[in-house]
Structure 1
Amino acid sequence: MHASVVLLLMENSYSQKDKLLQGEERKDGDELLSTFGKFKFGFFTPPSSSERYIGVWYNKPEDRMSYQPRYNEVQSRKVVWVANRNTPIIDKSASLRIDSTDGNLKIFHSGGNPIAITSVEGARNTSVTLEQSGNLVLHELHSNGSIKGMLCQSFDYPTHILLPGMKLGINLQIGHPWFLRSWLTDESPAEGSDTFCMDPNLTDRLIIKLHGEVKWTSGLWPNEEFKSWVVRGYNFSYTSNGQEKYFNYSVKDDVISFPTLQIDQNGYLKDYSRFSMSCSEGGYFGPYRNSTMCNRAKYTGGQVYYYPSFQATNQGEKLRHELLRDLTRETAWEAVMRIRCGKGIRFMSYDGNFMLRSTDLLALPAVDCDKAYTM
């Protein structure tokens, strides 16, 4: 069968699963599934919480996991957008419907008045679609059911994660900003104190703010920080015209299947592999921002960590295996963040693993090295 026919059949198989029409209802446990199955929209509960939220998360299609191992790299439910982050639901009585009186998508629940996910005026004949990009869109429809136009989209209201196609910047026509705000805690998607946005005073750079105070900057566009992100597969672009100014990014799907840029509650800007991307000349931004936890190397390959008890060795590969022996792929990121600073051999954390830069070994005398230790 021709490849285009296969793709068309796959797309049609999802066509009735990615939409919510007026008169339909999605109860707790029901989900919208995007074309080709990469995203889901529905109810979820954060870890160690009993409250219910509505959101979009990365899905792991079962029909692809057998021959695409990279699909196993994403968390089983990596939430990328939350509709009701400040208004959780206390039980599983809720349902999603399009209000027939005003055409808006709302959460109907037993705990009080409906919670509006969209708020537009003047349109009653509408539908909701979870697009292939993960964008949740409210469309206005013609009387025959065809799409008349877009009324509202989740990409205009990002929460804690930037997906390809989302923007960081400002719509100059209406003054609407696009920015990320962290979760309050791991258990609560409520708005936290850290934001990731375009600098309103210097629009060709990105900043992280804590309680309104700038704690990190990307530097002016384009600079070494942006170049280092490109090395990791994130291709940033900057657009500036009379209507809008914004940054966004793209990736190659065969390199990064589940791309994210996330601002977390500790002030870290992380990518899909939980590698921190928010380093600058001032050092590492995060829980250790007031210490000497991290020093940034003068190269564009990523973040360099200094392991204290290593002098130098010509057995770098052996050392790397010793580290990986005790640190699994899932825990390597957390462990490397706890390594003490100091002079010695440098390693780079990449995709959860440790990669030794061979050039760091050449200029140092060959001596035995001790095993690294964590705090």
Structure 2
Amino acid sequence: MKHTIILIILASLWTCHDAIDTLKPGDTLNSTSSLVSALGKFTLNFITKPIGNSEMSFLAILRIKTKANKAWIANPHSPVLSSSSPLLTLDFNNTLKITHRNGQPFILSAPNTTSITSVVATLLDSGNFVLQEVSPVNGSTIRILWQSFDYPTDTFLPGMKLGVDHINEHVWSLLSWGSSDNPVSSGPFSLEWDTNAHQLKIKKSGVIYWTSGVFADGRFEYILPDVSKQRYNFSIVSNQNEDYLTYTSLDDPNDPEPEWVLYTRGALFEYGAQVDIIRAQNCDGYNTVGGCVRRDRPSDCVGKLGDDFEIKKGNFTIINSANASRPANWIGTGSEDCKVTCWQNCSCLGFDFPFGSQTTGAGCRFWSVDCAFIEDLSTATQSFVVPNSVTLPPKSPDSPPRGKINATHKGLWIGTSIAALLVIGFCILCYRLRGTKFMLSAGKNGTKIQKKLLKFMKSERPTDHGNIRHPDLSVFTYESVLAATSNFSEANKLGQGGFGPVYKGKLATGREVAVKRLSKCSGQGTVEFKNELILIYELQHTNLVQLFGFCIHEEEKMLIYEYMQNKSLDYFLFDSIRCLQLDWKKRFGIIEGITQGMLYLHKYSRTKVIHRDLKASNILLDENMNPKIADFGMARIFTQELEANTVRVVGTR
């Protein structure tokens, strides 16, 4: 009886985990207990997250504070069912592992030496979880057998390393999550240490998007250039055994130490201070601002155009009448969008902003190899942005100097200029007539809306990781939407729903999109519409159609989604021939995907959304017949019933 009481007391002490930072051989950590570092800075315990339709468990290290970031996850790609009673175990063979009822254990470390006499696993105040051999006499560390710092996930803590262990050929780097709330899938962005140039670099799918610049005077050129020298103490170690970067914090020791987090969309962010370190997703492949890396041009462009742009006064004139009817291309909301598109297209000779300045976001018009640029320095002519290698028509050797043109040459020059201006004017007139009556909405109201949209895109908007922006949610100009959809031609119309017609479009970048023209009966202004878009954009799931951006033109609002190659489920389901393509395996996969998407909307998303109109035509299919729910945000955007389009109260009869 006495021994039983002692065991109960010891068990209660184990569950009261305030002072426990170490596992000894034979110890276990279950889903209700934790390890806490000696000074109470970090905790190690199991966390649960909804993955699909199941609650999954991950072993995680978190800083002890409100809304703590998951600084490290032991099994990001091998979660275990929460119902399977996961345990962290250090067994008597010195193997550190995660066990559960439903399968094989997940091994963290299994030392292959038999000469070890005393091993413990300890959570340190640095946030490092170490398996170490200790002295049986005084408990001092003899050597580190394994440590979590060697396997970083998306977070870079002070004391961690980014670089290469030459002896073991082990690389220390960060990898973003596939989505903001799901560590199982890996994202496209990585943060790595360049051992040759000795600078940090962010890659997207293996392509370098950003570099930190060289290290000098205690800081890197493009890492928080105004404050990094006061916030971080960087150390670079380079020898035959290893080459890496590490850092410590220079903040007040009473304040939480920094955590650099590489987010899903490419931002490197200091979690505790809510500070942007770098936003690699703003690197568009052309600009070199803030460490952005200019990517290689197409091989057929090399040597044809310069690598920079300059503003010149003059006019483009069409020299190939066969392509005189070619429509102008409309993209982006600013000069950088236009530059990168022109720079990566070797047929582009320049662009201008016919409906406003480059700062108003009114779109740009490209001029191609079918044109010639004639420089005119008079103040009345328009300005064009052209690559610096675009040359002007050469003057003949006997041509008179500028300003001293004889009467014959002057008359010829005036006649040529008038003809060129007439051709340009005729082409512009034809292009305007081809558009809708809203094509030239660059008045005061249009400019005011565009400025409001640009201000919205630059504003800070909350996410799961704090106040960071979402530059992937694009503001599309009305002209760019018109160009993408061929002026909303019937040939591009995909269908008509209760919320408005949907058109297929192709952006200047080559991406195919679906454009939904919303009915005007939503009763929302720009501010309310913007707030609803933020909520919808935060809904990220593999079985929801992805929202790329939006467009507002006068009273009309449009949403730009990803284009789904296999149309909607009803296209197959209710056709006697096409339905034969849906075997039971595909049908079951579609059913499962729809269920997971609805479960996410109703239960696991940051904001609960009730679809209210789930039907076969609102289930879209990608190229692999994977289902994606569409119109899941319409119930939010529309604040009143669509009496003009339907007779239903809610949903479809």
Q: TM-score, normalised by structure 1?
A: 0.66
Q: Distance in 2 between matches of 1:52 and 1:14?
A: 20
Conserved 8 A contact 1:52-1:89? yes
Look up the SS of the partner of 2:261 in the other structure: strand
Amino acid in the other structure paired with 1:126: V
* Matching of residue 171 in structure 1 with residue 305 in structure 2: no
Q: Distance in 1 between matches of 2:204 and 2:76?
A: 19
* Matching of residue 238 in structure 1 with residue 236 in structure 2: yes
Of residues 97, 100, 122, the one that matches 1:106 is 97
Q: Distance in 2 between matches of 1:177 and 1:327?
A: 34
Amino acid in the other structure paired with 1:114: P
Conserved 8 A contact 1:59-1:77? yes
Q: Which residue of 1 aligns with 2:400?
A: none
When residues 330 and 89 of structure 1 are mapped into structure 2, their CA distance, relative to the original with a 3 A threshold, is: closer
Q: Distance in 1 between matches of 2:89 and 2:262?
A: 31
Conserved 8 A contact 1:14-1:35? no
* Matching of residue 89 in structure 1 with residue 80 in structure 2: yes
Q: Which residue of 1 aligns with 2:278?
A: 278
Conserved 8 A contact 2:461-2:467? no
- Taking the TM superposition and a 5 Å limit, the aligned residue runs for 1:179-258 are 179-190=173-184, 191-200=186-195, 202-222=196-216, 223-226=220-223, 228=225, 230-231=228-229, 233-254=231-252, 256-258=255-257
* Matching of residue 77 in structure 1 with residue 84 in structure 2: no
Of residues 139, 146, 151, the one that matches 1:152 is 146
Of residues 4, 9, 32, the one that matches 2:35 is 32
Conserved 8 A contact 2:460-2:468? no
Conserved 8 A contact 2:47-2:60? yes
When residues 87 and 328 of structure 1 are mapped into structure 2, their CA distance, relative to the original with a 3 A threshold, is: closer
Q: Distance in 1 between matches of 2:286 and 2:240?
A: 43
* Matching of residue 54 in structure 1 with residue 59 in structure 2: yes
Q: Which residue of 2 aligns with 1:261?
A: 260
Conserved 8 A contact 1:14-1:36? no
Structure 1 window deviating more from structure 2 (220-229 vs 167-176): it is 220-229
What is the CA distance between 1:221 and its match in structure 2? Answer: 2.2
What is the CA distance between 1:252 and its match in structure 2? Answer: 2.8
Q: Distance in 2 between matches of 1:188 and 1:15?
A: 29
Of residues 453, 456, 467, the one that matches 1:333 is 467
Structure 1 window deviating more from structure 2 (160-169 vs 267-276): it is 267-276
Conserved 8 A contact 1:46-1:186? no
What is the CA distance between 1:258 and its match in structure 2? Answer: 3.4
Please say which structure displays the higher CA radius of gyration. Answer: 2
Deviations 1:217-238 (A, max 9, x none): 1122234224616156123222
Deviations 1:157-191 (A, max 9, x none): 11111100001111223222211111122222233
Amino acid in the other structure paired with 1:247: L
When residues 143 and 54 of structure 1 are mapped into structure 2, their CA distance, relative to the original with a 3 A threshold, is: same
Q: Which residue of 1 aligns with 2:311?
A: none
* Matching of residue 133 in structure 1 with residue 126 in structure 2: yes
Q: Distance in 1 between matches of 2:288 and 2:32?
A: 44
Look up the SS of the partner of 2:182 in the other structure: coil
Unaligned runs of 5+ in 1: 1-12, 61-74, 280-284, 298-306, 310-322, 341-370
What is the CA distance between 1:119 and its match in structure 2? Answer: 3.2
Conserved 8 A contact 2:88-2:99? yes
What is the CA distance between 1:45 and its match in structure 2? Answer: 2.1
Higher helix share: 2
When residues 294 and 232 of structure 1 are mapped into structure 2, their CA distance, relative to the original with a 3 A threshold, is: farther
When residues 121 and 51 of structure 1 are mapped into structure 2, their CA distance, relative to the original with a 3 A threshold, is: same
Deviations 1:283-323 (A, max 9, x none): xx21x4439999659xxxxxxxxx979xxxxxxxxxxxxx9
Q: TM-score, normalised by structure 2?
A: 0.40
What is the CA distance between 1:140 and its match in structure 2? Answer: 1.6
When residues 150 and 158 of structure 1 are mapped into structure 2, their CA distance, relative to the original with a 3 A threshold, is: same
What is the CA distance between 1:329 and its match in structure 2? Answer: 8.7
What is the CA distance between 1:199 and its match in structure 2? Answer: 1.7
When residues 259 and 217 of structure 1 are mapped into structure 2, their CA distance, relative to the original with a 3 A threshold, is: same
Q: Distance in 2 between matches of 1:245 and 1:172?
A: 8
Conserved 8 A contact 1:14-1:37? no
What is the CA distance between 1:260 and its match in structure 2? Answer: 0.7
Look up the SS of the partner of 1:155 in the other structure: helix
What is the CA distance between 1:86 and its match in structure 2? Answer: 1.1
Q: Distance in 2 between matches of 1:274 and 1:27?
A: 33
Deviations 1:204-254 (A, max 9, x none): 111111111111111222342246161561232222223221111111342
Unaligned runs of 5+ in 2: 1-15, 292-358, 362-455, 476-526, 531-549, 551-653
Structure 1 window deviating more from structure 2 (182-191 vs 222-231): it is 222-231
Q: Distance in 2 between matches of 1:276 and 1:327?
A: 11
Q: Distance in 2 between matches of 1:328 and 1:268?
A: 14
Conserved 8 A contact 2:461-2:470? no
